Amino acid sequence: MKQTVVYIFLIFSLLPITLQGQTETFKVGIIPYKSPQAFTESYQPLMNYLGKELNKRVILDTVPEEELAYKLSKGMYDMGIFTVFPYLRAKIDFEELEVFASHTVDGEDSYSGCIMIRRESGINSLHQLKERNFLFVKPSSTSGYKYPKGIFTERNLDIDAGFFQYDFSGGHGRSLRALMEKEVDGIAVDTRVYNDLSEARKEDYLMLECYEIPYHAYVLSPETDSTFKAGLKEIMFDAHKNPANRSIFTNPLKIEKWHAQTDDAYNSLRRYLRIVREKPSVHVTWEIRNAAQKMLDERGDLLALLQESCLNKLTSTYRFKEVSDEDTQMENAKEIKVTLGVIDQQLHYNFYLDGTQIGEGNLNEQQLVSELPTALIIDVLKAYVLEGQLLYNGEAWFVTFGEDDGIKAEDYTFEIQRDSGLKSMISESEISQITSLNTFFKSPDSNSFKEGQKVRILYNDAMKAELAAKTLGSGEGSFWDNLDNRWGVIGLLVAFISVAVGSYFSNTRKRRFQSYQRQANDLLLHFWVDKANVDAKLISLKEEIHTSLQKTRINENQFLILNKRIDDIERIIHEDFPHHKQLPKIVKDELDEICSNGVITEKEFSRIMTLTRKYGRESAS
C-alpha cells in the first residue's frame, strides 16, 4: 500500500511535464527501479528538457515490465525505457522493438559485476569453488545472480546439481560483508561495492571473473517516423554538450548524458542469461557482369537456384544468426559479395567478406550450382575465424564453442597460443567430446595448458583436399608405363567400368531421393490425418538430406528439390493448414480422400499444393 501511495505521488509530481501548453503529446513509459524519490528527481528534469526541445507535451508513466513492450509495440507509448533484463525478454516476443539509446552513469556506458573470493583462500579459478559456500544477491539481480549463473553454466559447472552450496544475501553490500567475515567462500556482486573499499582492503580480495552489463535500453515505438527519430537522436545525444543543461545531468541516479546504443551491446548478456549463442548475421549481394548475366539468362532458373543454394549452405553451417540476400537493413551484419564474370568461355567468380577478397576461381556452367556454393562456404569459414579462451572445469580442458556453433571435430582445428608465443594445434584425434555448448580436449601430457590461453578455431579445407586427392598422378615404373599397345583395350575396360559404376551410383542416389520424397510426404500425411506435430521431424529430415548431399549420397539438383519440398510442407502446415477448419467442405473432402489410403503420391502432392495455395491463404485472409 505504501509503495502504491509513493508511486501515485510520483505520477503527480511529474504533472508539470504535461502542462506545457503544447497540443501534441510524446508518451514515455518507463519501468520503475531504485527509490521513487531518486527516480522522480532524475527523470523529471530530463523529460522536461525533451518536451521543451520537441515542442510536445511529454507524458511520463511508470509501466510494469510485463506490459511496456506490448504497449510500445501497439503505439500506446512513443518511447519506452527498459531495464536490461526486461528488454532482453521483450525482444523474444517483440522482435520489431529496437534499442536506439542508453545513458552514461559516472562516466561509464556500462557497469560491471564480478565473482570474488578472499585472496587467502587459495582459490584461483571457478572450478575450485566446488563444494564451497557461495552467496548470490537475489534471483532478480543481473550482476548478482543471472549473469554469473550463466558463466558457471557455460563452464559446465552446474550450480543447481550440487557444484556448491549457495544462498541469497538480499544486497550487494551484505554479500561483501559475509565474504569479509568468512561466512562464505565466494560471492557475485556489482563491482561498485568493491570499488568503495580502501586500497588496502582491496588487496584482501581476488576477482576470478568480471563481466560488463550495459545500462538501460531506450526504445522507440515501431510506428515512429524516421525523420522524427533522427531529430530526437540529435536532441538527446547533443544535450550534454550545452552548459545550460548541466543541472538536468546532476541527479541522484548520476545519469550524465545520453548516447547511441544498438541491440548488439546486449549480446553478451543473452549468451550468459539464457545460454543462447549470439552469432553475426550475413547479408549476401551479387554483382554479375554483362557477359555472365547473358549466359545465365539463357539457362532459365540457373541463377535463382545458384543463389538459393548459396543461402542454404551458409545457413546450414550454424555459424550465422540470419542469412539473407534481400535488400533490407541488417544491423551490424557481415557483408558477403559474390561477383561473376566470363573469361575464356568460363565463369570467373570472386568472393568478398566485409570488402576483403577471400577467394576466386573458374567454373563451367555444369559445375556452377554444385561447386560454387561449396567454394563459398570454404572461403567464408576460413576467413571468419572463431576466437575464444582455454578453460578448465576441474576435470577437463575446453572452449565454449560446440555443436550449436556448427563445430564438428572433422571440420575444425584448434590453435592454442601458448605463453611462450609458440602455437600448438589440436586436431580431431585430440578432442574427447563436443556438446551443444562446449568442445572438450583430451588431457595434455604436460602442464602446457593454462586457463585463459587464446584459442583460434580454424576451418579445415577438407573439401578442397578431397577434390585434389581425386586427381591421380602416375610415376616412373608404374603399371601404366608398361601397357604398350594395350591402351585401347584398357580404355574400353575403364569406360565400361565407369558406366557401370556411374549407373550404380546414379540408381542408388535416385532410390535414396525417392525415399526422402516419400518420407516428406508421409510427414504431411501424419499432420493432416493424425493432427500430429511434425516440426521436429521435418527439421531432422532436412538435416539428414543435407548430410546426404555432403556425403554425395544425393546430387545437388536432388538436394534442391527435396529442400524445396520440405519448405513447401512447412508453408502448408504453418500458413495453410492451420486454417483448414475454414476450408470449403468440398476441399476438405478431397484432402481427406487423398490421405485415406495412407500414402500421398507425387501426383497427389501436386494436387495438395494447388488446393492449399488456392484455398488455404484465402481462408486465412
Sequence-distant contacts of 168-175: CB under 8 A, at least 24 apart: 168/135, 168/136, 168/137, 168/138, 168/139, 169/135, 169/136, 169/137, 169/138, 170/137, 170/138, 171/137, 171/138, 172/137, 172/143, 172/144, 175/135, 175/136, 175/137, 175/144
pLDDT digits (tens, 9 = 90+) for 1-20: 445 444 444 444 444 444 44
Written in H, E and C, the secondary structure of 238-300 is HHHHCHHHHHHHCCCCCEEEEEECCHHHHHHHHHHHHCCCCCCCEEEEEEECHHHHHHHHCCC
pLDDT digits (tens, 9 = 90+) for 198-254: 999 999 999 999 989 999 999 999 988 889 999 999 999 999 999 998 888 888 888
Please give the pLDDT value at position 497. 55
pLDDT at residue 88 above 80? yes
pLDDT at residue 478 above 60? no
Fold (topology level) of 282-383: Double Stranded RNA Binding Domain (3.30.160)
Please give the pLDDT value at position 388. 84
For residues 537 and 525, the answer to whether their CB atoms sit within 8 Å is no
List the strands of the sheet with 255-260, edge to edge.
57-62, 25-30, 79-82, 217-220, 99-105, 255-260
Fold (topology level) of 386-465: Elongation Factor Tu (Ef-tu); domain 3 (2.40.30)
Please give the pLDDT value at position 604. 81
pLDDT at residue 505 above 60? no
pLDDT at residue 190 above 90? yes
Whole-number Å distance between alpha carbons of 114 and 598: 60
Enumerate the β-bridge partners of residue 60.
Answer: 28
Domain with CATH 3.30.160 in the chain: 282-383
pLDDT digits (tens, 9 = 90+) for 341-364: 998 888 899 999 999 999 999 988
Count of helices and strands (H, E) across the chain: 21, 24
12 or 263, greater pLDDT: 263
pLDDT digits (tens, 9 = 90+) for 425-468: 887 888 888 887 789 888 765 567 888 889 999 998 754 544 44
Please give the pLDDT value at position 482. 39
- Please report, rounded to a whole number, the percentage of residues in the chain having pLDDT higher than 70: 83
598 or 68, greater pLDDT: 68
Domain with CATH 2.40.30 in the chain: 386-465
Compute the mean pLDDT over every residue in the chain, rounded to the nearest whole number.
81
pLDDT band at 527; cut points 50, 70, 90? confident
Please give the pLDDT value at position 529. 76
Q: Work out the average pLDDT over 470-492.
A: 41
Q: By mean pLDDT, which of 70-84, 274-288, 465-479, 564-578 is the weakest?
A: 465-479
Q: What is the CATH number that goes with domain 110-210?
A: 3.40.190.10
Parallel, antiparallel, or unpaired for β 57-62 and 110-118? unpaired
Domain with CATH 3.40.190.10 in the chain: 2-108+216-272, 110-210
pLDDT band at 621; cut points 50, 70, 90? very low
Whole-number Å distance between alpha carbons of 569 and 238: 52
Category of 170 on φ-ψ map: left (φ > 0), alpha (ψ -120 to 50) or beta: left
Category of 484 on φ-ψ map: left (φ > 0), alpha (ψ -120 to 50) or beta: left
Joined together, the cell numbers standing for residue 568 give 513447401
pLDDT at residue 507 above 90? no
The closest alpha carbon to 275, from 398, 152, 381, belongs to 152
pLDDT at residue 471 above 50? no
CATH architecture of residue range(s) 2-108+216-272: 3-Layer(aba) Sandwich (3.40)
Whole-number Å distance between alpha carbons of 442 and 429: 9
Please give the pLDDT value at position 238. 93
For residues 151 and 211, the answer to whether their CB atoms sit within 8 Å is yes
- Please report, rounded to a whole number, the percentage of residues in the chain having pLDDT higher than 90: 31
